[in-house]
Amino acid sequence: MDHVSRPLTSPLLGSVRVPGDKSISHRAVLFAAMAQGTSVLSGVLDSEDVRSTIGAVSALGAGVEMSEAADGSLELRVTGWGGFGPSEPTAPIECGNSGTTARLLMGVLAGWPVEVALTGDDSLSRRPMRRVTGPLGRMGVVCVTTEGHLPVTVSGGGLVPIIFESPVASAQVKTAVLLAGLRAHGRTVVREPARSRDHTERLLPAFGVEVGIAEETRSCWVDGPAVLSAADVVVPGDPSSAAFIAVAAALVPGSDVRIEGVALNPTRTAFLSVMERMGARVDVLPDVGPGAEPAGTLHVQHGAGLRATTITPDEVPSLVDEVPVLALLASQAEGETRFEEVGELRVKESDRLAAIVEGLAALGADAVAEDDTLVVSGPARLSGDIALDSLGDHRLAMTWALAGLVAEAPVTVESFEAVDVSYPRFLGDLHALASAEEQA
């Protein structure tokens, strides 16, 4: 499906609530399936990726009752397999486009005497899996990959704990190893070169499993064996989805937008600091309430006179998914914006680093990749009147749609249906914020 994004001549105004956080939704479903008892999950993101995880745990023997809430989110009652472990499925588990589903499932399955094949679509089948199968192999798991990619067959069983020095800051790798560690006898430790998302460390205690954390060494650990206990979880709004609405408000003159109920986990909100450094007007209004994750409202207004900044390597793990849309914002800022050590973008749903450079150049902006550094110079006049391929990547699809709002002519986004992976109602929310006579 192609989408034609047209320039706006009036501001984005009003309030919106973005869908539930994708990373937390995945974990809530997986942990509930692993737990003893029945968990109630609300605010779960209804997207293709999360449905891949729901389908996977159902195939592995968890009981799942699912209904749709009035806001379009999912409400789930998940009865887990607890100490009995997952059932061996009769067919391969299809992970779709979801790297989180595939990588975290490897850790879930690692300590159980089952043999499970994991498959995915063409895009997921190009993404690296050795970063997970390597440490799991050290723990005693047999993982047979296809030249380091999906399909992967996992044969679990008795595990030994390890101290794993991860070469990359990856919440998926960290979580897979920690989940495997729950079945090992002893302490499993993961150390990272930089701090990655900590949703697992925050959510596991809600399911009755403590996670040790040493900030000074960027380490965390679990002691096994341990069985999770059922918990009720409310999933807050996804900050990565909120970033696209926030950047839209910062780009479109006169805009004044409130994004409500957004997760404010500090490992996910570095994009807000970058926006503020660039001159966007951003206020964060925290909510007061229970939950493993902090949440609140983002108030974003158009920033006149945007200026360049440098995104350092330490910041990248906390905003890697927002680089495409921040690069678009940088194209409208005065000066040279540098995104340092963003090579991880090459192994996302697409080669995002190359796609950002090619897409911005086609729009008339100045962007280059120097090894693993992305450099965007501005401000640029975005010409529009072109077609840009999303490459089946949801982050690119939304970025190019925003480009069309501030270009001089419409931008056609090819394969726009990729947004269903994380933000199915993206266009609807933009329409709601646009003036009545405008169409986003």
Neighbouring-strand partners of residue 334 = 307
Of the candidates 14, 436, 32, the one whose C-alpha atom is nearest the C-alpha of residue 231 is 32
Is the Cα torsion angle 52, 54, 59, 60 positive or negative in sign? Answer: positive
Neighbours of 329 (CB within 10 A): 28
Phi/psi for 64 (5° steps) reads -125, 120
Instruction: Kindly name the residue from 198, 321, 393, 420 that is annotated as catalytic.
Output: 321
DSSP symbols for 100-135: HHHHHHHHHHTTSS-EEEEE--TTGGGS--HHHHHH
Active site residue 321: yes
Please, which residues have CB within 8 angstroms of residue 281's CB and are 6 or more apart in sequence? 250, 300, 301, 302, 303
User: Would you report the helix, strand and coil content of the chain in percent, each value rounded to 5?
Assistant: 35, 25, 40
How many CA atoms, within 13 angstroms, populate the side-chain half-sphere of residue 375?
7
Radius of gyration of the chain (CA): 21
Q: Catalytic positions, please?
A: 321
